Structure 1
Amino acid sequence: MTRTHSFWLIPLLGYLVAFGPLSIDTYLPSLPEIAKNLGASQQMVQYSITSFLVGMAIGMLIIGPLSDQLGRKKILLVGTFTYALTSLGCAMVQDAESLVLLRALQSLGAAAAAVLARALVRDYFDHQQAASILSSMHIISMIVMIFAPLLGAFIVNTLDWRWIFYLLAAVSVFAFVAIALIIKEPQRDTTKPPSIKDYLSSYAVCFSEPKVTLLILTNGFSFAGMFAFIAASAFVYIEYFGYRESTYGLLFSANIGAIIVMTVINKQLLTRASSETALRFAITVSAISACLMALISVSYADIALLFIASSMLFISVTGSIGANCLATLFAIIPERAGTAAGLLVAMQFALGSISTYITSLLFDGTPASLLIVMASFGALSFASYGLSLMISHKKQPH
């Protein structure tokens, strides 16, 4: 790569990773207006979120190993082009059913951006650099999460909800041009034509390494705890503790700020230590916070400050765990970077969906019940990581 390409590459990869949160969070403030404009129920419009999340998970599982065979750049270009077309389609729909379908198709483009941006980190950088760069990309994604709802609300209030999708189309066109100019296809073996057998073998290689599965679960359970918080925290803050909606918004944004702070700390740690050491630190913080949440749930859950502090500490390291887990996966299966990235992020969405369902069953409106659910997922994350260490120890020569 040229010097110019090196300078713009990391910002572009962070920009691509932000497609997912940008597609969801910018759109959330417009849901009531969309339902009214299209003459649809709130539930029907909410299905457009579900279809997008399901499409993201499926798309990642397909696109990851496919890129290991066909290359990253061409799939990225197809993905961003698809995203632009479907965004324009969403802007022009006349019924909610069409919106649900187009959002599912739009998610495939977002999945390509999210997975392949991460896989390209492995293609361009060594193992140690990868964890730091993935952390930087996560910071960009978190900043988008803070400002995307504000941008969406501004568009709805000043223009029309359809302009949100015109904006997303423009974002994708910009990405398409940037990919064409900046991304250089990494060298790979092109002598062997792609096949279904090779495609499936990508997953076989990944799952043949027990540590790969356990690290994917380590990250997935950590994010599941955060999804539980997302699903029920509004009820705790607003209905149980009696905070205003604006206060809840500030507290929710504070959690995102905590993720950014801990991810910056993770980047600094990676300048002096390996990604495995950084992962151990993040998992330790997560385990401590899970223990605190379990203790607080027994007798002190009614104290708002303890609920806020313990849940924020748990959420703060989710980004660091994700970046370090993926960097470690790249070191274990370097030739399957696309598959590894697809599996890791798809598992986040899959376990996140399971988490929200479990939370809906177990949450009784009290902070104690939410803390127990989050602590349980934290314990599963720690157990998965502990098993991965045991496997690594057994493989070491004595």
Structure 2
Amino acid sequence: MSPVGETRATRLEGSTGWVLAILALLTAAAPLSVDIYTPSLPLIQRDLGGDEWLTQSSITACLLGVGIGQLLWGPLSDRTGRRPVIFFGVLGWTITSLLSALAVTPVMLLSLRGLAGLCGAAGIVVARSVVRDISSDRRAVASRVGILSMVNAVAPVVAPVIGAVIAIAWGWRADFVALAAFGAAVGLAFALTVPETLPADRRTGGGARTIASSLAGGLRNRELAAVAIALGAHAFGFYAYITSASFIVERQFGHPPIVFALVFGTNAAAMLSANLVFRRLVRRRHPSLPLGIGLVACAVSGAVLFATAAVRGPEGVLWAASIVFAGGTGLVLPSAHSWGQLTVVASGVASALTGSAQFLGGVLGSPLTGLLGVTAENLGLVMTIASSVAIVAWVVARRAERAAHPGP
């Protein structure tokens, strides 16, 4: 049973599809912010000047903003309600996106992208809480959060393709204008479609100290903390893959960009297919099952990628390993976020901790292969270690869940 209960879920039952669609678009906002302009980074550096690392740091700043922002917006939505937080976040994200199109220095762009990530985090973290509010049973929560998590995972894969098309037609500044238009449209749709889902009598009280206390209390929940660690560890490897794959395909193996697009296209298809499997599994089983399966698949595929690259094996095997890794990720992300919402911790806090773990893991994982050397061998090693650490955390979380809910 969700915190709000069956009455509110029943009242929104007829419009659940529309509500989920709007929440999915809100969830996509922050990942789009991070990745839509990555194909244009060389052009941005040429126009704005500055060192290459400074332009690239705008990506890291946006990721960092998304990770930290969720720690703020999630608990705040438990206190003030969902709608004010989402409205403020969407408004801030839209304005900073538009201002990014007017950037005249790399420092200005970096600062605006950090703020955009901070504001965009509101849509990701609060959307999951709205789902928990309007869902009347655990299976509905898991399935619906799974949809949002899948959007969150697929957006970084498709965003560079969309951004490249826009930039080719109208220039790199048009990417940010498109983001601003997207934010305005989604904000209006949310205002017209989604009511407040957290009634006043269900809200928490207190100020900043209470929010910090709520986060600390969530971390003291062993089950939720272990799930967050598992997700953060996996995200470390996943974002290392996202940021390294194009260099490996195009530079290490000398293929044209169309081949990279094909690789990422098959990855996206694998993630979507895995999400369908997840939604079937959680109708009868706890999300811990698909999470465990996904982590094992990712660890094995990372090891295959490492071993094949080390012996200069067939490129087809490397491609197949990337597809398995993407499919495993398609199980991991929705499972971890759904599991977080099924713990006894308040929805906003649970969403904040799992969401921030994912993006902060990405902040740490994104530059690592660049430091080690962007090769398939190094990427496979990072993927294997990250997923293996996540498996250990999964075991801890599973034991904590069984202790909290003993039974068959």
TM-score by structure 2 length?
A: 0.88
Q: Residue 322 of structure 1 is aligned with which of 333, 337, 350?
A: 333
CA 1:148–1:374: 2 relative to 1, 3 Å: closer
Residue number in structure 2 paired with 1:131: 142
Report the counterpart of residue 213 of structure 2 in structure 1: 201
- Residue in structure 2 matched with residue 82 of structure 1 by the alignment: 92
Q: 1:138-287 alignment to 2 at 5 Å?
A: 138-142=149-153, 144-185=155-196, 186-189=198-201, 193-287=205-299
- The equivalent residue for 2:319 is 308
Displacement after TM superposition at 1:32 (Å)? 2.6
Counterpart of 2:240, as a letter, is A
- Which moves more between the two structures, 206-215 or 155-164? 155-164
Structure 1 pair 379–297 and aligned structure 2 pair: CA distance change class (3 A): farther
Shifted more, 325-334 versus 75-84: the winner is 325-334
Secondary structure of the residue aligned to 1:333 is: coil
1:26 alignment partner AA: I
Aligned residue identity for 2:377: A
* CA distance in 1 between partners of 2:110 and 2:253 (Å): 35
Alpha-carbon offset, residue 274 of structure 1? 3.2
CA contact (8 A) 2:142 2:338 kept: yes
C-alpha distance in structure 1 between counterparts of 2:13 and 2:141, whole Å: 19
Aligned residue runs from structure 1 range 1-150, under 5 A: 1-2=11-12, 5-125=15-135, 126-142=137-153, 144-150=155-161
SS in 1 for 2:231: helix
1:382 is matched with which residue? Answer: 391
Structural RMSD (CA): 2.5
**Which residue matches 1:373?**
382
1:317–1:397: structure 2 CA closer, same or farther, 3 Å change rule? closer
Distance 1:113 1:259 in 2: 22
Q: Structure 2: how far apart are the matches of 1:270 and 1:100? A: 40
Letter of the structure 2 residue corresponding to residue 189 of structure 1 = D
Amino acid paired to 2:243: A
Deviates more, 1:223-232 or 1:372-381: 223-232
Specify the SS of the correspondent of 1:92.
coil
Gapped runs of 5+ residues in structure 2? 1-10
**Letter aligned with residue 278 of structure 2:** N
2:63–2:362 Cα contact (<8 Å) kept:
no
**Deviation of the 1:209 alpha carbon:** 1.3
The DSSP-based 3-state class of the residue aligned with 2:201 is coil
SS at match of 1:189: helix
Which segment drifts farther, 378-387 or 155-164? Answer: 155-164
Does the CA-based 8 Å contact 1:311-1:371 persist in structure 2?
A: no
Change (3 A) 1:277 1:156: closer
Structure 1's 307 and 179: CA in aligned 2 closer, same or farther, altered over 3 A? Answer: same
**Gap change, CA 1:301 and 1:277, over 3 Å in 2:** same
Quick one: percent identity of the two aligned structures?
Answer: 27
Question: What is the distance in 1 between the residues matched to 2:378 and 2:151?
Answer: 32
Distance 1:294 1:36 in 2: 35
TM-score of the superposed pair, with normalisation by structure 1: 0.90
- State the 1:5 CA deviation: 3.3
Q: Structure 1 residues 87, 230: closer, same or farther in 2, change over 3 A?
A: closer
Q: Displacement, 1:198?
A: 1.9
